[in-house]
Amino acid sequence: MIKWEYILKIIMNKENASKLWKIIQEAGDYLVGQLPDHPNHPKGRNPYAHVAICVKSKFNASYKDIPDDQYDEVIKYIEFLKENPS
């Protein structure tokens, strides 16, 4: 049986998850109108969803389920997304 203490250590704490969500929102704000057009999104792409989906894809977990020890790496990746809208 897995102990809760172990599980709590491998997922992001609430404070970091909250900070990360704010950073994701700010990145979405920054990317408004910068993402290239896509035929599946005729009314435009959602930059907030784009950032969240990219983070989930890269780290194989929702932003709040990524381990705390990867927090800085997630921040760097979000900066990369801002510099390279795709």
- pLDDT, tens only, 29-72: 999 999 999 898 888 899 999 999 999 999 999 999 999 999 99
pTM summary value: 0.84
Q: Is the pLDDT of residue 1 over 90?
A: no
Coil/strand/helix, residue 84? coil
